């Protein structure tokens, strides 16, 4: 395993951070915040997102609060390895839309001494674990679960309730298509 040295001459250690939660919980906002702090610290940063996420911009990661950071859209997780240059930090948004190869990609990057920050939905609209997120949370050194506010009762929300009658697993959307709900309100909505 090759580990680069940081400015102090110490070996740089890679690790994986996962930011997860429901829609409208601030996952992308937190990802952008961490990546901007890395840039302020003069670290070399690259950001990736799935090519299918074109809701706000094709070439930017954009939070619901309209904060943005430039990124490279990719169609598969393995392309992240091919497009990664000489970096200290890799950011990956909307990780739930990637194939399961993302887990191996993140491990390889971390083993190369890179800090990997991944953000994504931990559950789909049915309340089931989503894509590679459960495996990423299991291997990550740090996991941050963020919460939205339930649109029905005002409690902390951890579920993304789909407002449309569409059973496709992947359906891009925003406030017209989804709302955050707490466990009790989500369970009531499923009846």
Report the catalytic residues: 94
Tokens of 164: 């449309």
CB 106 within 8 A of CB 118: yes
Query: Rg of the chain over CA atoms, in angstroms?
Result: 17
CB 173 within 8 A of CB 149: no
- Which residues are CB-neighbours of 69 under 8 A, at least 6 positions away? 32, 35, 36, 47, 60, 61, 91
Q: State the residue for tokens 């000489």.
A: 86
Q: Which of 75, 104, 105, 100 lies closest to 90 in space, CA to CA?
A: 105
Using a 10 angstrom Cβ sphere, with 0-12 exposed, 13-18 middle and 19 or more buried, the burial of residue 10 is: exposed
Q: Which residues of 87-100 are buried (b: 16+ CB within 10 A; e: fewer)?
A: bbbbbbbbbbbbee
């Amino acid at each position: 395993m090759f580990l680069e040295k940081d400015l102090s001459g110490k070996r740089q250690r890679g690790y994986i951070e996962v930011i997860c939660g429901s829609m409208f919980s601030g996952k992308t906002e937190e990802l952008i915040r961490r990546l901007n702090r890395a840039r302020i610290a003069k670290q070399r940063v690259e950001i990736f997102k799935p090519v299918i996420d074109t809701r706000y911009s094709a070439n930017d990661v954009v939070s619901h609060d309209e904060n943005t950071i430039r990124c490279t859209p990719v169609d598969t997780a393995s392309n992240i390895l091919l497009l990664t240059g000489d970096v200290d930090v890799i950011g990956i948004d909307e990780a739930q839309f990637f194939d399961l190869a993302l887990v191996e990609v993140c491990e390889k990057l971390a083993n190369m001494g890179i800090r990997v920050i991944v953000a994504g939905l931990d559950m789909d609209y049915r309340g089931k674990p989503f894509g590679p997120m459960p495996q990423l949370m299991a291997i990550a050194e740090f996991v941050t679960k963020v919460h939205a506010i339930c649109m029905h009762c005002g409690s902390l929300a951890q579920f993304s309730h789909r407002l449309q009658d569409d059973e496709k697993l992947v359906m891009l959307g925003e406030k017209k298509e989804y709302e955050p709900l707490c466990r009790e309100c989500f369970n009531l909505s499923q009846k």
